[in-house]
Amino acid sequence: MRGRKALLIDTELCAGCNACVDACKEENNQPDVETTDLSSISYTAVIEKEGVYTRRLCMHCEYPTCVSVCPVGALEKTESGAVIYHYEKCIGCRYCMQACPYSVPTYEWNSTSPKVQKCTMCHARQKVGKIPACAEACPVEATIFGDRNELLKIARKRLSDDPTTYVNHIYGEHEAGGSSVLFASSVPFEKLGFPGNLPMEPLPNLTWDVLSKIPRFSVFFGAFLYGVWWVIDRRIELADNGTENNRFNQHLLDNEQKKEQV
């Protein structure tokens, strides 16, 4: 994870001004409409719950499930930490939407040439030395950008300096193997709508554990099905032979009776 960039979002500092949302829309040429959740025209949203404001956006997982399930490599985890999307490769299968534990990717259902849409952590801006638009626009630094390891140090210091305010948990540090978007909060994350049942290990690893057993299972199950087919086919064959034998015996009996009548 060395060199990975990340965002740290502190819900205790967020004033709910939506400057991050407006900056994101401007950066991505999206219409200026009211945003209440993620959509194909909104890569981030500010949501109020339990008296605090929090954000919804792509978590840019360290081991993205969306990347692991994409059959054509349309999604990519970059060295900088951002998970980006290659439209020219996408076949529209939408496996990424089903696989994402945070329900982030959205789809342009009304488009004749639909794309999967999600935050890219302003990857294009990063490549020219700029920081993500949302972090640049935040007037109170509730969202800050930097090296992931350094942001974790900042978050830990805030938690240790003010333990009566903050929940002793940095969301995104370990969930599903960790992510490039980190959260600090004064309210338990489950109450803010964050998934609370995620494993700490990367989800693609769990998927592979299952998939790696499929070949052996398939061989066993295939052999079992063949065995069932052989038994059924043999019984049918014996039944057919029995019917033929009965017909032959009946034919002999009929000939004997004819001879006796003559």
> What confidence score (pLDDT) does residue 261 get?
56
- Rounded to whole angstroms, how far apart are CA atoms 177 and 68? 14
How far is 48 from 55, CA to CA, in rounded Å?
9
Q: What is the pTM of this model?
A: 0.78
Closest among 188, 187, 170 to 179, alpha carbons compared: 170
Q: Please report the pLDDT score of residue 253 as a whole number.
A: 57
C-alpha to C-alpha distance for 167 and 184, rounded to whole angstroms: 7
**Residues 145 and 6: beta-carbon distance below 8 Å:** yes
Please list the pLDDT of the chain residue by residue as tens digits (262 residues): 557 999 999 999 999 999 999 999 999 999 999 999 999 999 999 999 999 999 999 999 999 999 999 999 999 999 999 999 999 999 999 999 999 999 999 999 999 999 999 999 999 999 999 999 999 999 999 999 999 999 999 999 999 999 999 999 999 999 999 999 999 999 999 999 999 989 999 988 765 554 444 454 444 455 555 455 555 555 566 555 555 555 555 555 565 555 555 5
Give the pLDDT of residue 204. Answer: 83
Report residue 152 CA to chain centroid gap. Answer: 24
Residue 15 near residue 138 (C-beta atoms within 8 A): no
Domain ranges of the chain: 5-211, 213-262
Three-class SS state of 251:
helix
At 237 the pLDDT is 60
The answer to whether the beta carbons of residues 10 and 142 sit under 8 Å apart is yes
Separation between Cα atoms, residue 15 and residue 210, nearest integer Å? 44
Q: 73 and 215 in contact (C-beta within 8 Å)?
A: no
Per-residue model confidence (pLDDT) at position 247:
58
C-alpha 2/C-alpha 128 separation (Å) is 20
- Residues in Cβ contact with 203 at an 8 Å cutoff, skipping those fewer than 6 apart: 61, 63, 65, 68, 99, 101, 176, 177
CATH for 5-211 is 3.30.70.20
Long-range contacts of 74-77 (CB under 8 A, 24+ apart): 74/116, 75/116
Inter-residue contact 42 to 23 (CB < 8 Å): no
The DSSP secondary-structure symbol of 42 reads B
pLDDT at position 97: 96
pLDDT of residue 205: 78
The reported pLDDT for the residue numbered 211 is: 46
Taking Cα atoms as reference points, which of 216, 57, 256 lies closest to residue 143? Answer: 57
Work out whether strand 181-184 and strand 5-10 pair parallel, antiparallel, or are unpaired: parallel
- According to the model, what pLDDT value does residue 210 have? 46
